[in-house]
Amino acid sequence: MSGPSSNAMPAGVVRNSALSFVASAQATDGSDVAVPVNPAALAVEGEQMTQTERLMPPGLTPLYEACTKVYPDQPNPLQVTTRLKYWLGGQDPLDYISMYWNPGRPDENIPPHWHYVSFGLSDLHGDGRVHPEPHGCSGYGLELTFRLASEDKQPPLWPAALLQALARYIFTTGNKFVCGDHVSWHAPLDGSSSRVRHLLVATDPQLETTNTCHGSVTFLQMVGCTSRELRAAQRGSGFEVLNMISEDPRCGGAWLVTRTQRRVSARIQHQNVQKPAHLAGVSARVAWREYSVSVCVYDCTKQVPRISHKMSTDSFKMSSIERALPQLPEMMQWEGSSTRLTSSPTRHEMALPLNVEKGSWRGDEVEYLNGVHLLLNAEAASLLPLAIDGRVLHDRHFTWRQGPRTVTLLTPAVGGAFVTRAKPYASKGPWLQILIPPELAGDMSKQVSGLARLSDSDSESDEDSTETSPRPSIPITLTWPHYRLSISVLHDLEIL
C-alpha cells in the first residue's frame, strides 16, 4: 500500500503541560481548544498532579509512567496534540506526540537528540471510541518513537508529522509494523536534500514493552536510513542493517539516532546472491487483468521524470524475516481472510504443457486464467529482480499487496498453492497466484534485471556498483508470449 507523506507542520499545536494528557478537556464541537500553557505554571503542586492523574486516560497512564522512568526530570515534556481528535472526525489518529530532550552518550557515539513518542496507536481510553475491545494487546499493540540528532533548544516539528503519517497508514490499512520492517519513503525525511530518505523499524532501546489495563504496548522506533541501506534491508535482513547502523559511529550509535545530515551509509556487507532473500513481500500498488496479445511493449531506455513521492512498506503482518511466511495458506489466515486452502500441488508433480486456449475456466471457487497481464508501480517493479533472483529461483514465494488485493509469485515447490503447472494462473477472491516454472524464471531474471534501477534516483547508489545505465522510463511492458504473461510498470495513479 502506498500513500503520500508530508513534512508540513502537524495539524495541532505544541504545548508544555502534563494536563495535555487530559482527554476530557477536549471539546466535542470541533473547535480549537489547545491553548498554550505557561511553562511557569508547570511546577504544579501535589494536589494538582493528583487531579491530572485522575483525569488521565487509563490506557495512557502506564505509558506516561514508562516515559517518566526514562526522563524523570521531564514530567511535562513539550507535546504536539491534535486540535480535533480522531474519534471526533479529525484526520490525525495520534492524540499526542511527546518530545523529550535526551543528552545522549557522546562517549558511546550517541549524540544529543530529541526523542519523539506517540500516543494513540494503543488504546488509551478503552471505551471503543477508537479501538475495538482488546485481545491481548492494547489497540494495535504499539506506539511509535523517533530519535533526531539535534542541538536545537526547540524540537523540529517535522518528525511529529512523520509519525502522524505513519499512524494514518496503520489506521487506514490495518497493517502493523514489526521490528525489522522497512518503509520506503522516497523523499528526504526533513524536506531538505538529505540522503536519509527511508525508514527501518527497530525496538526503542530505552522504552520497554509496557502492560496497560487494555493490553501490552511495544514501543517501535522509526530509524532514518539511506537508499543504500534500504536496498540492503530488502535484499538481506532489516535486523542486520540496523546492527550495522548502530555499530557505525557516523550513523547514530547504539540508540539508532537518526542523523539527517550524514552523507554516508553504514558499512553494508555485500549480500551473497547465492542465498535466498529474506524479504517475502511488500505493500505496493498492484493490479492485474486478462492477458492480451495486443499489449504494447514500451522502450525501456528513455529517461523518466521524477515520480511523485509515495510510501510503501513490507509490513502487512509479513516481516522481513523468512519465517514470517512459511506457507502460503498461513499468510491468508493471518490476514483474517475467509479463504481456506485445502489442496496443494505435489512437490514432484510432472510438468504439463501450458494450456493456450482462449478464455478462462472456474472450479472450486478458484478462477483459472488463461494468461495474466500484471500491473505494478515503480516501487513494486524495482523489487522484481529480488523476487525472481532472490526468491523464485530459490523455490520461495514473493508477494505484493494493495489492501486486500494480493499477487504472489511462486514455484511448483511451494506448498499450499491453488495453481499447478497445467493451470499456472489462478485467483481466489482478491488473491492472484502466478506459478513461475524454472525455465521462465531464468528468462525473467535476464529481462527484469534493469528494473532494480527504478529505485536508484532518490539517493546514493551502491558503493561497489559499476552500473552506469540510466534509470528506466515509465511506462514499461515486458512480455513472454509463450507463457501468456506480461508485466507493465506504470505510474501510481494509473493503478487504481
Tell me which of 170 and 474 has the higher pLDDT. 170
Share of the chain above pLDDT 70, in %: 71
Report how far residue 322's alpha carbon sits from residue 126's, in angstroms, rounded to the nearest whole number: 35
Q: Give tens-digit pLDDT for 7-42.
A: 444 555 555 544 344 333 333 333 333 333 444 443
- Say whether both 105 and 185 belong to one domain: yes
Instruction: Report the range of poorest mean pLDDT among 6-15, 123-132, 205-214, 331-340.
Output: 331-340
Does one domain contain both 228 and 114?
yes
- What is the structure's pLDDT at 12? 55
Name the nearest CA neighbour of 221 among 243, 199, 248, 190.
199
Regarding whether 288 and 182 lie in a shared domain, the answer is no
Amino acid 452: pLDDT: 85
Q: Structure pTM? A: 0.73
Q: Quote the pLDDT of residue 397.
A: 95
pLDDT at position 276, please? 83
Q: Average the pLDDT over 148-175 and give the result.
A: 93
pLDDT of residue 327: 40
Mean pLDDT of 325-349: 32
Question: Is there a single domain that holds both residue 187 and residue 108?
Answer: yes
Distance CA 188, CA 18 (A): 32
The average pLDDT across 31-56 equals 45
In a domain, 48, yes or no: no
- Domain annotation covers residue 18: no
**Strand bridging mode 281-283 / 398-402:** parallel
Do residues 241 and 281 both lie within one domain? no
Q: Is residue 473 part of a domain?
A: yes
What pLDDT is attached to residue 470?
77
Would you say residue 101 lies in a domain? Answer: yes
pLDDT-derived band at 337, boundaries 50, 70, 90? very low
Q: Both 199 and 284 in a single domain?
A: no
172 shares a domain with 96 = yes
- Residue 316 or 225, more confident: 225
pLDDT at 15: 54
User: What pLDDT does residue 474 have?
Assistant: 84
Mean pLDDT of the chain: 77
Residue-wise pLDDT for 306-317, tens only, equals: 333 455 555 444
Give me the domain span that covers residue 95: 54-247
The structural domain count of the chain equals 2
What is the number of alpha carbons within 13 Å of residue 350 lying toward its C-beta? Answer: 2
Is residue 69 assigned to a domain? Answer: yes
pLDDT above 60 (res 239): yes
Q: Are residues 159 and 285 in the same domain?
A: no
* Per-residue pLDDT at 393: 95
Asked if residue 176 and residue 61 are part of one domain, the reply reads yes
pLDDT, tens digit, for every residue of 196-214? 999 999 999 999 999 999 9
